[in-house]
Amino acid sequence: MEQQQNLISNDLQVDHIAYVHLKESASWAKFLGIVGFVISVLIGIVGLFAGSLVSRFNRGFGDSSAGMMGAGFITVIYLVIAIVYFLVSLYVFRFGTKMKQALQATDQENFNDALSNLKGAYRIVGIITIIYTGLIAIAMVFAIGTALLRK
């Protein structure tokens, strides 16, 4: 708490070294945001076709409602991944755009908006990491339980 108040009361400044780092970070953020947009669209398209491919593959082994549900589930998973990746890319792109504007015009509002967008991107990635870690832990518990039951 003491450290945070010291930074605010001393009017934290962006010196030349910080300016250079932020400018380069903004350029990379814009690039990663644009690439992320393209990849998320491609993931969404693949998701739409993956479901139909799975359902077509299942028809070869007999028509079953479980196969159709599996195909729909795969499509939904791909679309959710595409949406989440798009949102992360959007926050990263906005960070890059706002940071460049803030540094060019020494605009505090754009600087704050840029940092807010960076926080949003980190928040989404953090939530995904927590969910993924939880799923891995659950899978490990089931795997260990299954291994113990087979003995």
Would you kindly state where each structural domain of the chain is located, as residue ranges? 15-150
Q: Is the pTM of this model over 0.75?
A: yes
Q: What is the pLDDT of residues 69-87, one digit of tens each?
A: 677 888 899 999 999 999 9
Contacts of 118 (CB under 8 A, 6+ apart): 29, 91, 92, 95
Q: What is the pLDDT of residues 16-69, one digit of tens each?
A: 999 999 999 999 999 999 999 999 999 999 998 887 777 776 665 555 555 556
Indicate the SS3 state at residue 108: helix
The count of C-alpha atoms lying within 13 angstroms of the C-alpha of 94, restricted to the half-sphere facing its C-beta, is 17
Q: How large is the average pLDDT for residues 111-115?
A: 96
> How far, CA to CA in Å, does 88 sit from each of 41, 74, 82, 105, 115?
13, 21, 10, 26, 14
Mean pLDDT score of the chain: 88
Asked if the model's pLDDT at residue 121 lies above 80, the reply is: yes
5 vs 17, residue with greater confidence:
17
What is the per-residue pLDDT for 61?
59
